[in-house]
Chains A and B, each alone.
Chain A
Amino acid sequence: MISLYPLIQNETIKLLKKRRFLVILVIVVVLVSVFTYAQTRIAENTRKQLGTTDWRITTQNQIADNTNKLSNIRIPDEAKRAIKVEITRLQYALDKNINPQTPSGVTFTRDFFGNAIGLFLPLLVVILAIDLVSAEHSTGTIKILLTRPVRRWKVLMSKLITLLLFTSLIILMTTLICYAISGLAFGYSGWSMPVITGFQVTGDQLITANAHVIEQWRYLFMEISLCWFSCFVVGCISLMVSVLVRSTAAGMGIMLAALISGVILVNMVASWDSAKYFFMVNLQTNTFLSAALPSAGSPPVPGLTLPFSLSVLAAWALISLVISFSVFTKRDILN
């Protein structure tokens, strides 16, 4: 019996030598640099407009801006609810005297993950996962791989574990890159800065009963871990697509369409209740940490809770894996 260890070693070496991972790291570096620059410009602009770096004034201004948006009749009800929640959150921060936005490397990283989880990070995992199996078909190496004295489920299992390892690597490297690059601009402190978590949204009410203050590093750690889980689920689904679809381009297209439709669907869940069972609507689990808005202008999805989202994601991953394994172990390799 060949154990899984050398098989995982094989898959890891192949992934690294394929240079895909390197490409992903380069993408992250470029993107983080661009965002860091944008962030410095925004900070500069705010400073110019308000003439102050006092976060209390800035926050006060954000509240005023949001309150004005609220009085606009043309804004739909869902968006208004989101704005109300945001105002409550900002007000709470003011009351507790905790700056919601201290510019620092850690805060930037936190924000980056908050925004990247919906599309960007899953996309990186898709890039890696989508040709794990289909590439073996297109290069023809599947014919050697599966004629070795190793059971087929072991071959796929080694690919799955390698995917898990690389999902972790992507998240870890993104964190490090974010912190390193943004730290250049905003400083490397901020680990122990207090952050509020534990908000709960019920209807258009923001419940602050369970809100509590934690150090920012704890918050970041929890957020990253939640992102990691979402990414791995997307990886499992990509693996299934890779098993089912021979063409890497077609597989990429399918996953891209799914992820982007998720970004759009989040806005529609208010009207279409059963859409909450789609995996792509549930990816942004980190919103449960802060009850912040999933993205600017889009409302928090009603009816979603962390246990619900995690269960939906886990169910999708599990079903994908069952399909992947049963197809992969039984299928005839015809070309």
Chain B
Amino acid sequence: MKDESIVLSVRDIKKKIKNKWIIKGISFDVRAGEVFGFLGPNGSGKTTTIRMLVDLIKPTEGQIFICGIPVGNKPDEALQYVGCIVENPELYPYLSGWENLEHFARMLKNVTKQRIHEVVEIVGLNQRIHDKVRTYSLGMRQRLGIAQALLGKPKLLILDEPTNGLDPQGIKEMRVFIRSLAQEGLSVFVSSHLLSEIQLMCDRVAIISHGNVTAVGHVADLMRPAETIVEWRLSPFEEGMAILKASGYVTSFEELPIGEGSSNRIVRCKMPEDQIPIKNAELVRSKVRVNAITVKNPTLEELFLRLTDGETID
């Protein structure tokens, strides 16, 4: 706990709801200035864990420390370092954006009017801040929620599925925004069920499944063992497959019939990415027509599978 660089420390927390262990023992640390991803499918215990971090739910066992302060014993001290959005950014619809910020500013120490102006500026809501929240779009509510979370200059920002419901442009903006916050020294804890998002935003990630953390580490480290999955659409199919099979790099094959009587069958194989042009040239030379090459990122399920597999093999 003495380590200054650790902002959030979760020590073996467990939660039992209605005689069922929802969380079976989770531990991880979040360091200062990093974007920490919390990855898991829906129903894996992500939201329950986040709620325990911010004292909405009391853990059955284990402890949580924010900047070294135990959340369970001194929630009012610990939570002053935290800004959070749990699930949807829900604010008072009958108040204006400004009134909402004033409301939550009064629940903190030393938040000046100047600071409220600052956070409004940061999230770019100047135009509509005095309109009722009822009239806001989801994206604007999301931004107001973040403004609210930033009011008290927190050291840790907890965002639950921050890109949910946003359009592609909004998702991209959110990503850039989160990175920029981290650059200013803020730790950001982001949960998501989408690997691609975590990959793009986070420095480190914890993967949760069925109430257990299956892996914690740098995103790149976790991804590295993976070979790229490449799908080839070839004709004539048998010849092409033979060529790919003959290559030493190709590790697995899969035939995916794409409709009856079609000659455009797909073969899927795992191979290093730099081998794609070489194999392609070889196929073309052998008069096999390459209709399409698709590079597939591993899906979350595949990553889980591999992680659990990896554990058993190693």
What does the 1/0 interface line of A1-34 toward B look like (CB < 8 Å)?
A: 1100011011001100111000000000000000
Asked if A334 is at the interface (CB within 8 A of a chain B CB), the reply is yes
- Does A151 interact with chain B (Cβ within 8 Å)? yes
Contact A334 B76 (CB under 8 A): no
Contact, CB under 8 Å: A146 / B55: yes
- Which residues 126-161 of B have a CB within 8 angstroms of A? 148, 152
**CB contact list, A114-156 vs B, under 8 A:** 139-141, 143-151
Q: Are B76 and A1 in contact (CB under 8 A)?
A: yes
In the complex, whether A54 has a CB less than 8 A from a CB of chain B is no
Q: Is A332 an interface residue (CB 8 A)?
A: yes
Contacts of A209 in B (CB 8 A): none
User: With a CB–CB cut-off of 8 A, which chain A residues contact B91?
Assistant: 141, 144
Contact pick for B107, options A14, A18, A140, A149, CB 8 Å: A149
Binds A, one of B81-89, B167-175, B290-298: B81-89
B177, CB-defined interface residue at 8 Å: no
Q: Could you say which residues of chain B place their CB within 8 Å of the CB of A332?
A: 17, 51, 56-58
A144: chain B residues at CB < 8 Å are 84-86, 90-91, 104, 148
Q: How far does the Cβ of A142 sit from chain B's closest Cβ, in whole Å? A: 8
Q: A1–B92 Cα gap in the complex (Å)? A: 24
Q: Name the CB-closest residue of A to B59.
A: A332
Q: Which residues of A contact B95 (CB under 8 A)?
A: 13-14, 17
Residues B90 and A139 in contact, CB atoms below 8 Å apart: yes
Q: A147-B79, A149-B75 are in contact. Are A140 and B55 (CB under 8 A)?
A: no
In the complex, chain A residues whose CB is within 8 Å of the CB of B57 = 332-334
Shortest distance between the CB of A19 and any CB in chain B (Å): 7
Distance in angstroms from A60 CB to nearest chain B CB is 56
Q: Contact at A143–B90, with CB atoms within 8 Å?
A: yes
Inter-chain contact B56/A149, CB cutoff 8 Å = no
Question: Smallest Cβ distance from A326 to chain B, in angstroms?
Answer: 14
Distance between A310 CB and nearest chain B CB, rounded to angstroms: 36
Question: Taking A1-B76, A333-B51 as contacts, is the C-beta distance between A148 and B90 under 8 angstroms?
Answer: no
Tell which of A17, A140, A147 touches B54, judged by Cβ atoms closer than 8 Å: A147
Given A147-B55, A148-B107, A148-B108: A139 in contact with B75 (beta carbons within 8 A) = no
Q: What's the nearest-Cβ distance from chain A to residue B204, in Å? A: 23
How many Å lie between the Cα of A147 and that of B81 in the bound state? 11
Does chain A have a CB within 8 A of B93? yes
- Flag whether B2 is at the interface (Cβ < 8 A): no
Check A10 against B90 for contact (C-beta < 8 Å): no
Smallest distance from the beta carbon of A28 to chain B beta carbons, Å?
22
**Residue B77 CB within 8 A of the other chain:** yes
A313 to B271, CA, bound (A): 78
State whether A149 touches B79 (Cβ < 8 A).
yes
A285 to B84, CA, bound (A): 48
Cβ-defined contact, B56 with A147, below 8 A = yes
Q: How far is the CA of A13 from the CA of B99 in the complex (A)?
A: 9
CA–CA, A147 and B87, complex, Å: 13
Which B residues lie within 8 Å of A10 (CB)? 103, 106-107
CB-CB < 8 A to B75: which residues of A? 149, 151
Task: State the CA gap A17–B95 with chains docked (Å).
Answer: 7
Measured CA separation A148–B148 after assembly (Å): 10
The residue of chain A having its C-beta at the shortest distance from the C-beta of B103 within the complex is: A10
Give chain A nearest CB distance to B239 CB in angstroms: 58
Q: How far, in Å, is B59 (CB) from chain A's closest CB?
A: 10
Find the B residue at minimum CB distance from A11: B103
Shortest Cβ distance from A145 into B: residue: B107
Given known pairs A139-B93, A143-B90, the reply for A150 and B104 (CB within 8 Å) is no
Q: Which residue on chain A has the smallest CB distance to residue B82?
A: A147
| A198, B58: Cα distance in complex, Å | 55
Interface membership of chain A positions 318-335, coded 1 if the CB is closer than 8 angstroms to chain B and 0 otherwise: 000000000000101110
A65 CB → nearest B CB, Å: 52
Closest to A332 in B: B57
Contact in complex: A149, B106 (CB < 8 Å): no
Indicate with 1 or 0, residue by residue over B42-57, a CB within 8 angstroms of chain A CB atoms: 0000000001001111
Q: Which of B54, B77, B80, B107 contacts A7 (CB 8 A)?
A: B107
Complex formed: what's the CA distance from A22 to B78 in Å? 39
Output the nearest chain B residue to A155 by Cβ-Cβ distance: B107
B94 at the interface (CB under 8 A from A): yes
Report A-chain residues with C-beta under 8 Å of the C-beta of B77.
149
CB distance B56 to A146 under 8 Å? yes
Interface residues in chain A, defined as those with a beta carbon under 8 Å from any beta carbon in chain B = 1-2, 6-7, 9-10, 13-14, 17-19, 139-141, 143-151, 330, 332-334
- List 27 A–B pairs whose Cβ atoms lie within 8 Å, in order of A's numbering: A1-B76, A2-B109, A6-B106, A6-B107, A13-B95, A13-B99, A13-B103, A14-B94, A14-B95, A17-B95, A17-B99, A19-B94, A139-B93, A140-B90, A141-B91, A143-B86, A143-B87, A144-B85, A144-B148, A147-B56, A147-B82, A148-B79, A150-B107, A330-B58, A332-B56, A332-B57, A333-B57
Other contacts beyond A2-B76, A17-B94: 20, CB < 8 A: A1-B76, A2-B106, A7-B107, A9-B106, A18-B94, A140-B88, A140-B90, A141-B92, A143-B87, A144-B86, A144-B91, A147-B55, A147-B86, A148-B107, A148-B108, A149-B76, A149-B77, A149-B107, A332-B57, A334-B57
Q: What 6 A-B pairs have minimum CB-CB distances, sorted nearest first?
A: A140-B90, A6-B106, A149-B80, A148-B107, A333-B56, A147-B54
